[in-house]
């Protein structure tokens, strides 16, 4: 565990320290696009944050290669080198897109090529555990197609959700944390070495996200851009492919008793990691909804719009920070809920806890519809949006004109506040003063 923590800290430190210089480079290079209609930020912000994240990935893998225990991962498996090759290619495509905004089909082709490079070096899905059937071996063609599809779906799911400050990095960090706990349990809990590369990938991915988040939280000083979002999406997919397609479920028979029991026991995490429907369930759902929405409108599935889940949270009244935290909450609930269920699927308390937390999440989601108002004695301790606003009755124009009419031989009255706020200020402040005078006269 100490070597994984060291790798994580080195990756985070290198990413964090390089993000500042990368921001200055992005400004000089002109990687600051104009504000678009779908953007939620109001000032041009530099991109290319993926440059710092890529060098953080390289630093983490380099340190792990020189550690005593993690060095065995590089000696016995070619997967770290396959990951680095695919990551370098997808990162280069992302950098070009951040600077020149290349065509969506070209990016899709680059994603498929990067996935193919990893497949050629051995990072591929060899078999699948299917409930009720057992382990299903895949042909080379099936393995390649499934691996490429998983990589492309994961990359675009993360890319689509990158719409608010700190959203993509935080959600992927949560997914990587859940993934690390699962892979570490398989690796050290059961002693199965094929889970070691996935554990390393998850640790490095957490470091990349944690190092970048301080620069990317609202208000963001720099965006990761496609060079960062596609990169962390590929790393997340590589970990899922490594542990799902490389770890033979037959090796778990020793712990579960039979192959069929093994498949049933591991399917709560195996199948979701493969598709992926729990580890990045929220980005995947956003991806599917975006494709359906754009296709229904007759648009290209890659045409950008303001219909993503985070945009809808802003539209119903959530603030920027609260929308991000709500997305964090649902990502953590789904990822760690699936993780807990995979450990003990027979526990009723786990299911009950997931149901209760889901109800809490729905309440938080609908909070702007039912904005609470604090009692008057507690208004000093809550944000202004939860305080009761005093309602001032408007003064009829005829009454105001009658009261402001000067007496015979008297100078015309100047409305209170007219010299400060103009006509609007005079009407508001003068009307309030007249209302106070009327209340005083009526009480006499």
Q: What is the CB neighbour count within 10 angstroms for residue 257?
A: 11
Residue 189 DSSP one-character state: I
**What are the start-end ranges of the H helices in 136-224?**
140-161, 167-184, 190, 196-216
Task: Consult the annotation and say whether 159 binds a ligand.
Answer: yes
Tokens of 233: 């999406």
Distance CA 174, CA 335 (A): 8
Residue 356 DSSP one-character state: H
Task: Consult the annotation and say whether 226 binds a ligand.
Answer: yes
Number of DSSP helices (H) and strands (E) in the chain, helices first: 18, 2
Residue owning tokens 């397609």 = 245
Residue owning tokens 């070597």 = 3
Distance CA 434, CA 429 (A): 9
Distance CA 62, CA 55 (A): 10
Tokens of 190: 């059961």
Residues 179/185, Cβ–Cβ less than 8 Å: no
| DSSP helix, strand, coil percent of the chain (3-state; round to 5) | 70, 0, 25
Residues 83/130, Cβ–Cβ less than 8 Å: no
101: exposed, middle or buried (Cβ count in 10 Å: 0-12, 13-18, 19+): exposed
Question: Helix or strand or coil: residue 42?
Answer: coil
Dihedral pair phi/psi, residue 143, rounded to 5°: -60, -45
Dihedral pair phi/psi, residue 128, rounded to 5°: -130, 140
**Distance from first CA to last CA of the chain, Å, rounded?**
80
Distance CA 364, CA 67 (A): 44
Nearest to 369 by CA among 330, 319, 316: 316
Question: Helix or strand or coil: residue 327?
Answer: helix
Distance CA 281, CA 286 (A): 9
Tokens of 258: 């039979």
- Which residues fall in the annotated binding site for Mg(2+)? 159, 226
The annotated binding site is made up of 159, 226
């Amino acid at each position: 565990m100490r070597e994984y923590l060291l790798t994580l800290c080195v990756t985070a430190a290198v990413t964090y320290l390089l993000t500042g210089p990368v921001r200055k480079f992005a400004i000089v290079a002109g990687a600051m696009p104009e504000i678009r209609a779908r953007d939620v930020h109001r000032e041009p912000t530099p991109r290319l944050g993926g440059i710092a994240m890529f060098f953080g990935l390289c630093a983490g893998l380099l340190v792990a290669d020189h550690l005593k225990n993690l060095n065995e991962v590089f000696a016995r498996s070619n997967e770290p080198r396959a990951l680095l090759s695919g990551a370098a290619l997808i990162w280069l495509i992302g950098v070009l897109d951040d600077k020149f905004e290349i065509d969506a089909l070209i990016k899709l082709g680059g994603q498929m090529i990067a996935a193919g490079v990893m497949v050629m070096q051995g990072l591929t899905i060899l078999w699948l555990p299917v409930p009720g059937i057992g382990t299903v071996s895949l042909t080379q063609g099936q393995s390649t197609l499934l691996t490429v599809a998983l990589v492309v779906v994961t990359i675009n799911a993360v890319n689509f959700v990158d719409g608010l400050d700190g959203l993509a990095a935080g959600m992927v960090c949560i997914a990587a944390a859940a993934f690390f706990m699962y892979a570490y349990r398989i690796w050290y809990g059961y002693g199965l070495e094929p889970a070691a590369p996935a554990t390393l990938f998850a640790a490095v991915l957490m470091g990349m996200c944690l190092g970048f988040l301080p620069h990317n939280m609202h208000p963001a000083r720099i965006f990761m851009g496609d060079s960062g979002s596609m990169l962390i999406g590929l790393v997340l997919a590589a970990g899922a492919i490594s542990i799902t397609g490389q770890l033979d479920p037959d090796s778990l028979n020793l712990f579960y008793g039979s192959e069929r029991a093994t498949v049933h026991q591991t399917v709560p995490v195996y199948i979701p990691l493969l598709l992926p429907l729990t580890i990045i369930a929220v980005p995947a759902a956003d991806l599917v909804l975006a494709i359906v929405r754009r296709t229904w409108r007759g648009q290209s599935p890659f045409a950008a719009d303001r219909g993503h889940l985070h945009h809808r949270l802003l539209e119903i009244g959530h603030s920027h920070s609260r929308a991000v935290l709500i997305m964090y909450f649902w990502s953590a609930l789904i990822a760690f809920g699936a993780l807990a269920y995979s450990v003990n699927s027979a526990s009723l308390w786990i299911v009950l806890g997931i149901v209760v937390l889901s109800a809490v999440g729905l309440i938080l989601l609908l909070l702007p519809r039912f904005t609470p108002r604090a009692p008057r004695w507690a208004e000093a301790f809550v944000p202004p949006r939860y305080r009761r606003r005093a309602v001032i009755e408007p003064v009829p124009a005829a009454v105001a004109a009658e009261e402001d009419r000067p007496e015979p031989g008297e100078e015309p009255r100047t409305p209170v506040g007219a010299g400060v706020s103009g006509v609007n200020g005079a009407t508001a402040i003068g009307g309030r003063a007249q209302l106070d005078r009327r209340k005083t006269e009526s009480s006499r």
